[in-house]
Amino acid sequence: MSHPHLLTQTRKALDVELKVKEGEIPQDLSGFVFINSGAGTVNSGGLPYPKTLPNGESNKEFGSPVINGDGYMYRFDLTDAGKVKLKTSILKTPCYYADRASSPELSGADNPWADIAFKNKGIARMSNKLGTRNQLNTAITPFRRPGDKQSRLLATFDAGRPFEFDPDSLKLITPIGENKFWRAGTPPFLTNPFPMVLTSAHPVYDPETQEVFSVNFTKTTKALLSATEIFHLIFDEEADIERRLEERIEEWKELESKEQVVQEVNDFFYTHKAAPKKNGFWAWLKRIYWNLIGSKFSNENAVYLVKWKGEKTPETFKIVNEDGSAIEIEHNMHQIGFSKDYVLLADTNFKFTLDVMQNNPFPNNQKIDEFLRDLLDGEQNDYSSLYIIHRKDLVDPKKEVKAHKVVLPVETVHFSANYDNPDGVLTVHTAHNCSACPAEWIRYYDTRKCDDQPIDLQKVGLIAVGEMDISKIGKVIIDVPNRDVWENKSKFLHLTGDLDHPTDPGPHTWAIGLYTYRDMLSPDKNVGEIKHIFWQAYGLQDDMLTNFMYNLYKDPKRNRTYQAEQILEFTSKGAPFILQTVDTDSMNVTDHYSFPKDTYMWSLQFVPSRNENSDIPESLNGYVLTTVIGKDNSDNHTDSYFSEIWLFDANNLKKGPVVKLEHEELQFAFTIHSVWVAEAQEVDEPPYKLDIRKDYNEQIKHIRRRRIRRKVQSLMNQHVYPHFR
């Protein structure tokens, strides 16, 4: 049941019952757990991305980040006492079918759509003429529309609109909001059928008001493209660009300052030195457009709150600062939250802009890849911003709504809020990934900082979790009416643990990851006050801290707890993955479990017990389901790994998993967000279900070049629309 690579991921649709490896399945499990993940591309057959193709050619997808892959949904059925049943499926969006049909790897070079095929370009998968893949591989949001007897589910992604999927079959039902409803995140010049939509991977649902909240934001073109307009690459022939870039890189490396390099690279693209001069109307129009970057042809800096209750077209409200100025999002809006009276938007520390999405245009060309990464990548802010909106102001979509901005003194990616906000006082529980970068990934040419040796190729593509400061678990108290953060009641917990005992250093906050708590994201009830939160920490691994990440975040001027040299010393000692319980009243760790060496815990989800127990607090009465990958050391299989499901007693983590479950077909590489729901039956067709043909034909008619428009139309007619009757 082991597999030969750490990052092994199947794409096969499964419908199996898991087998007990150790322990015993509790009799009081309940409901269903859904977990989302990325599973490679239509070409890869899963993960890992092989270095060479079966024909011996280099694989252009090798080295891609594992978070760039088709959404692969896991559904764990816990309703049958003593059993855990698993069903899985790829989430097959319209762009998935377009990807499959246009892939020359699947159907040969004579494929009539091969020249417009999607390709991995960093943390996104993009096509010059089709647009950006909406991979739906990140999170799940349960909701009910008025009158629903059971909950519905949304699959989500940071760069695409959410899709509803059926909880039983795992088949997609409909996107939410027509394409024309969403504002594209790419420059307006690009009229693709699959637009990149900058939104939140974590829309939220309030079961009390039956409202779903999401966000749609745009940036100016210059803000999107950051240090250099590498997006020009989409307008030129890749092979020619690659050759010419190689020729120039050695010259650029001799320049004295990064500013000079940026100017040279900009000149390279702006003056069309990257490719032979092209004449004609379209070449002229492209030059005019790029000379007007930042003018009226550019996107604006704008944030729109989306409110939806099951209508065909959601409502949108433009959100501005309290002085009426536009909100400029520096990184992205990965997470939003809410309380009884407020909606919380965040500029989270997770880079997801075109400079990162496109900074890997030639994955197999180390020379170009390394140069562009060094040029384009910058460290993330050492703070984050919350924008607090009063829900009573969300009345007239024609009027701008003002938000109160709160700056948190540490980096934040995820957070949750108590639903209760007495007298306007918010309690926000925060995860702080300090001087760590979830948008970066380990490249095949990276070297380890601790010993300067090459990186373990088993870990190529993993997010760069070699952190450069200690993470924190926060509780922030905000008095919204008085515009005051109560510093005396707020707390940021960080624990180093005893690293002289690496097998069990005790609780620690090295590389805080995901978290869960009872009724998190529940479609049936809000959590007035979150009492206990179960936190994941990745620990410290000397083979995960690369020289690149060390250099990127070593600046002593960053707001940090430990300096770079100290972090290197901590990292050399190491610390395991842990699962721990934080009591939110005291902000202390009350229970923990340290995972064995070479064992990785990716996702975690609270599962309520079906039995009431007055001796156990409700917030601890249940189990924590986790996805675990580890080295199989039996029979000296040092190069084999297992994928298993471990369940813990939420009231007693320290005793270890109560059961370990396995199956010979269960293979996952890197799972992400999860949710628990009480029921997961087939749902009826909703009235807001979109006509996919009509929705995308509306996009296609805006493609300006007739030859491309006809080509895209034929692709959609033959290979996409038949799947959405």
Inter-residue contact 73 to 165 (CB < 8 Å)? yes
Q: What percent of the chain has pLDDT over 90?
A: 72
Q: How many CB atoms lie within 10 A of CB 319?
A: 23
The arithmetic mean of pLDDT across residues 315-325, rounded, is 97
Q: At residue 161, does pLDDT exceed 60?
A: yes
The arithmetic mean of pLDDT across residues 557-575, rounded, is 96
Burial of residue 110 (number of CB atoms within 10 Å: 0-12, 13-18, 19+): exposed
**pLDDT at position 26, please?**
98
Which residues of 632-725 form beta strands (DSSP E)?
641-649, 659-662, 671-677
Q: At residue 646, does pLDDT exceed 80?
A: yes
**pLDDT at position 225, please?**
47
Q: Assign 638 a pLDDT band (cuts: 50, 70, 90).
A: low
**pLDDT at position 496, please?**
98
77 or 106, greater pLDDT: 77
H or E stretch covering 355: helix 354-357
**pLDDT at position 672, please?**
96
Which residues of 282-355 form beta strands (DSSP E)?
302-308, 315-321, 336-338, 342-347
Determine the 3-state secondary structure of 137 from DSSP: coil
**pLDDT at position 297, please?**
46
Q: At residue 359, does pLDDT exceed 60?
A: no
Region of 147 (left: φ > 0; alpha: ψ -120 to 50; beta: rest) is: left
Q: What is the pLDDT of residues 135-153, one digit of tens each?
A: 999 999 999 998 898 899 9
Inter-residue contact 577 to 599 (CB < 8 Å)? yes
Q: At residue 447, does pLDDT exceed 60?
A: yes
CA–CA gap between residue 62 and residue 360 (Å, rounded): 11
pTM: 0.92
Highest mean pLDDT among 341-345, 370-374, 377-381, 635-639: 341-345
Q: What is the pLDDT of residues 240-258, one digit of tens each?
A: 667 777 778 878 877 777 6
> Tokens in use for 554?
């070593």
Highest mean pLDDT among 290-294, 613-617, 719-723: 719-723
CA–CA gap between residue 564 and residue 567 (Å, rounded): 5
CA–CA gap between residue 626 and residue 605 (Å, rounded): 7
Torsion, Cα of 526, 529, 532, 535 (10° steps):
70
What residues contact residue 478 under an 8 Å CB cut-off, 6+ apart? 386, 388, 406, 425, 426, 428, 484, 485, 486
CA–CA gap between residue 517 and residue 531 (Å, rounded): 8
**pLDDT at position 281, please?**
45
Q: At residue 294, does pLDDT exceed 60?
A: no
CA–CA gap between residue 78 and residue 362 (Å, rounded): 44
Q: Assign 109 a pLDDT band (cuts: 50, 70, 90).
A: confident
What residues does 344 pair with on adjacent strands? 337, 388
CA–CA gap between residue 494 and residue 36 (Å, rounded): 29
Which of 235-244, 384-393, 507-516, 632-641 is predicted with the least confidence, judged by mean pLDDT? 235-244
CA–CA gap between residue 461 and residue 483 (Å, rounded): 42
Q: What angle do CA 487, 407, 396 make, to 5 degrees?
A: 115
Q: What angle do CA 511, 516, 518 make, to 5 degrees?
A: 160
Q: What is the pLDDT of residues 468-502, one digit of tens each?
A: 999 999 999 999 999 999 999 999 999 999 999 98
Distance of CA 311 to CAs 178, 306, 358, Å? 11, 12, 35
> In the block, which residue shows the tokens 């934040």?
412
Q: What DSSP designation does 441 have?
A: B
**pLDDT at position 232, please?**
43
Count Cβ neighbours within 10 Å for each residue of 505-540 and write b for 16 or more, e otherwise: bbbbbbbbbbbbbbbbbbbeebbeebbbbbbbbbbb
Torsion, Cα of 706, 711, 713, 715 (10° steps):
-170
> If you average pLDDT over every residue of the chain, what do you get?
89
> Tokens in use for 271?
């003056």
**pLDDT at position 394, please?**
98
What residues contact residue 610 under an 8 Å CB cut-off, 6+ apart? 28, 29, 30
> In the block, which residue shows the tokens 């038949």?
722
CA–CA gap between residue 652 and residue 649 (Å, rounded): 5
Q: What DSSP designation does 723 have?
A: G
Burial of residue 56 (number of CB atoms within 10 Å: 0-12, 13-18, 19+): exposed
**pLDDT at position 235, please?**
42
Inter-residue contact 59 to 47 (CB < 8 Å)? no
Q: Assign 380 a pLDDT band (cuts: 50, 70, 90).
A: confident
Q: How many CB atoms lie within 10 A of CB 547?
A: 15
Q: At residue 450, does pLDDT exceed 90?
A: yes
Distance of CA 152 to CAs 140, 183, 287, 306, Å? 10, 25, 47, 18
Proportion of the chain in helix, strand, coil states, percent, rounded to 5: 20, 30, 50
Q: Assign 128 a pLDDT band (cuts: 50, 70, 90).
A: confident
Instruction: For 166-216, give the secondary structure using H, E and C.
Output: CCCCCCEEEECCCHHHCCCCCCCCCCCCECCCCECCECEEECCCCEEEEEE
Q: What percent of the chain has pLDDT over 70?
A: 88
Short-list 181, 143, 145, CA closest to 161: 181
Short-list 125, 353, 314, CA closest to 203: 314
**pLDDT at position 536, please?**
98
**pLDDT at position 12, please?**
97
Q: Assign 628 a pLDDT band (cuts: 50, 70, 90).
A: very high
CA–CA gap between residue 298 and residue 289 (Å, rounded): 9
**pLDDT at position 271, please?**
52
Region of 636 (left: φ > 0; alpha: ψ -120 to 50; beta: rest) is: left
**pLDDT at position 1, please?**
65
Q: What is the pLDDT of residues 189-209, one digit of tens each?
A: 678 999 999 999 999 999 999
The arithmetic mean of pLDDT across residues 521-531, rounded, is 97
Count Cβ neighbours within 10 Å for each residue of 285-302 and write b for 16 or more, e otherwise: ebeebbeebeeeebbeeb
H or E stretch covering 384: strand 384-390
**pLDDT at position 615, please?**
93
Short-list 273, 140, 155, 162, CA closest to 214: 162
- List the end-to-end C-alpha distance of the chain, in Å, as a whole number: 39
Q: At residue 238, does pLDDT exceed 70?
A: no
The arithmetic mean of pLDDT across residues 623-637, rounded, is 86
Q: At residue 405, does pLDDT exceed 90?
A: yes
H or E stretch covering 388: strand 384-390
The arithmetic mean of pLDDT across residues 634-660, rounded, is 90
Q: Assign 227 a pLDDT band (cuts: 50, 70, 90).
A: very low
Residue-level length of the chain: 725
What residues does 346 pair with on adjacent strands? 386
Task: Determine if the peptide bond prior to 48 is cis (ω within 30°).
Answer: yes
Q: Assign 396 a pLDDT band (cuts: 50, 70, 90).
A: very high
Inter-residue contact 106 to 98 (CB < 8 Å)? no
Q: What is the pLDDT of residues 31-80, one digit of tens each?
A: 999 999 999 999 999 999 988 888 888 898 998 999 999 999 999 999 99
Q: What is the pLDDT of residues 262-288, one digit of tens each?
A: 667 766 655 544 444 444 544 444 444
CA–CA gap between residue 555 and residue 546 (Å, rounded): 15
H or E stretch covering 484: strand 484-485
Q: At residue 514, does pLDDT exceed 90?
A: yes
**pLDDT at position 355, please?**
47
Q: What is the pLDDT of residues 679-704, one digit of tens each?
A: 999 999 999 999 999 999 999 999 98
